Amino acid sequence: MRRTLTWIICLAMIVAGCCSSTEDTSTTSTTGAPSGAPTPVPAVSPTPTTTQPSAGRTEWTASTASGRISISGTVTDLTVPFTLDGVFQGGAAELTFVPADEHGGSYSYAGGGSGATVRGEGSYTLEGNEDEPLTLTYHGRGCASPGGCAETTAVVTLTPQRSE
């Protein structure tokens, strides 16, 4: 039972780009169910340089660097909320990003598969120059039900696409 529970937790955390061989027992009850809502994560405050599209650029295409989850989608404006799709072995999730400023904001996700539901939230940052791919890094806390909760971090590349 414990091995199955570990697999379900791992599957749920894949949606957030992480999975380890150790369980986070501090947030898992004795039955393996989540013990509560995700804990708020403090926003990271780097000083990257990002800007909106210049003439000739209308959107960014999202892709992941991790092999555990495939994140895809198109972002046309980084100053308004946008969603990306995440697909992992046995399930899928929708990730919603809400900008606070041009350097980042908050995110949340929800989805499921293989008999489990997943959800999470945290903060994200954007780094890079408008003429090159941007790096979107998100960090937060994710939970699976049945399962437990764990810290999550992932990196998404936003590649600029020029309009003709």
**19-39 confidence digits (pLDDT tens):** 433 333 333 333 344 444 444
**110-133 confidence digits (pLDDT tens):** 999 989 999 999 999 999 987 789
Query: What domain range is 29 assigned to?
Result: 2-162
Per-residue pLDDT, 77: 92
Per-residue pLDDT, 90: 87
149 with 24: CB under 8 angstroms?
Answer: yes
pTM over 0.85: no
Burial 144-160 (b: 16+ CB within 10 A, else e): bbbbbbbbbebebbbeb
69 with 14: CB under 8 angstroms?
Answer: yes
Residue-averaged pLDDT of the chain: 74
Both structure tokens of 44: 């990271």
Q: Give me the number of domains the chain comprises.
A: 1
